[in-house]
A and B are shown apart, each in its own frame.
Chain A
Amino acid sequence: MRDARDLGRHDHLCWSYEDTPDFLARVREYLAEGLELGKRVRYAALGASPDDLAGITGIETALSTGAAQVTPLSDTYSGEPEEHVRAYAAATEQALADGFTGLRVAAEATPLVSTPAKLTAFLRYEHLVDRYMARRPFSAMCGYDTTVLDEHAVTQLAGVHPCANHPTPFRLHAAPGGEVVELAGEVDAASHDLLGSLLERIDVEGDLVVHAPDLAFIDHRGLLLLADSARRRERSLVLRTRAVGAARLGDLLDMPDVRVEQIP
Chain B
Amino acid sequence: MNPFIHPALFYRTDQEYLAALVPFAAQGLDAGQPVAMAVPGRRLDVLRAGLGALARHVTLLDMAVEGRNPGRIIARILRRFADRHPDRHVRIVGEPIWAGRSVDEYPACAQHEALINLAFDGRDVTILCPYDLSTLSPRAVADAYVTHPVVWEGTDERTSDDYDVPGLLSRYNEPLPAPPSHAVFEVAGTADLAAARRFAVAHAGGLDRVADLELIVTELATNSLRHTGGPCRVGVWRAEGHLVCEVRDGGSLTDPLAGRRPPGRGQLSGRGLLMVNDLADLVRVHTGAAGTTFRALLRLP
Residues of A near any B CB (own CB < 8 A): 169, 186, 188-190, 217, 219-221, 224-225, 228, 231, 243-245, 248-249, 252-253, 255
Contact = CB atoms under 8 A, between A and B. Distances in A.
Interface residues of B, number: 25
Contacts of A220: 215, 219, 271-272, 275
A245 B214 CA distance: 8
Interface string B179-198: 00000000001110110010
Contacts of B189: 190
A252 B211 contact: no
Contact of A219 (B212, B222, B266): B222
A219 B215 contact: yes
Contact of B269 (A221, A245, A248): A221
Contacts of A217: 194, 197, 214, 218
A224 B263 CA distance: 12
Interface of B: 189-191, 193-194, 197, 210-212, 214-215, 218-219, 222, 225-226, 265-266, 268-269, 271-272, 275, 278-279
A190 B269 contact: no
Contacts, number: 60
A231 B214 CA distance: 27
B266 A190 contact: no
A231 B211 CA distance: 26
Given A219-B222, A220-B272, A190 B191 contact: yes
Given A244-B211, A253-B271, 20 more contacts: A186-B194, A188-B194, A189-B190, A190-B190, A190-B191, A190-B194, A219-B219, A220-B272, A220-B275, A221-B222, A221-B269, A224-B271, A228-B266, A228-B268, A245-B211, A245-B214, A248-B211, A249-B275, A252-B275, A252-B278
Nearest to B193: A188
Contact of B218 (A219, A225, A231): A219
A23 to B, nearest CB: 27
Contacts of A221: 222, 268-269, 271-272
B211 A188 contact: no
Contacts of A244: 210-211
Contact of A189 (B215, B225, B271, B279): B225
Nearest to B189: A190
Nearest to B210: A244
A254 B250 CA distance: 33
Nearest to A219: B218
Contacts of A186: 194
Nearest to A252: B278
Nearest to A256: B265
What 10 pairs between A and B have smallest CB-CB spacing? A245-B211, A244-B211, A190-B190, A189-B190, A188-B193, A189-B222, A252-B278, A245-B215, A220-B275, A224-B268
Nearest to A222: B218
Contacts of A190: 189-191, 193-194
Nearest to A251: B278
A169 B278 CA distance: 26
B215 A248 contact: yes
A198 B194 CA distance: 20
A228 B275 CA distance: 18
A194 to B, nearest CB: 11
Given A245-B211, A248-B211, A248-B212, A188 B268 contact: no
A136 to B, nearest CB: 35
B167 to A, nearest CB: 33
Contacts of B212: 245, 248
B219 A248 contact: no
Contacts of B218: 188-189, 217, 219
Given A190-B193, A219-B219, A220-B219, A225 B211 contact: no
Most chain-B CB neighbours within 10 Å: which of A189, A225, A228, A244?
A189
A190 B222 CA distance: 9
B204 to A, nearest CB: 14
Nearest to A217: B214
Contacts of B265: 255
B215 to A, nearest CB: 5
A115 B36 CA distance: 59
Nearest to B268: A224
B133 to A, nearest CB: 36
23 contacts: A186-B194, A189-B193, A189-B218, A189-B222, A189-B225, A189-B226, A190-B191, A217-B194, A217-B197, A219-B218, A219-B222, A220-B219, A220-B272, A221-B271, A224-B271, A228-B266, A228-B268, A231-B266, A243-B211, A245-B211, A245-B212, A248-B211, A255-B265
A231 B268 CA distance: 12
B278 to A, nearest CB: 5
Contacts of B194: 169, 186, 188, 190, 217
Most chain-A CB neighbours within 10 Å: which of B210, B211, B225, B272?
B211
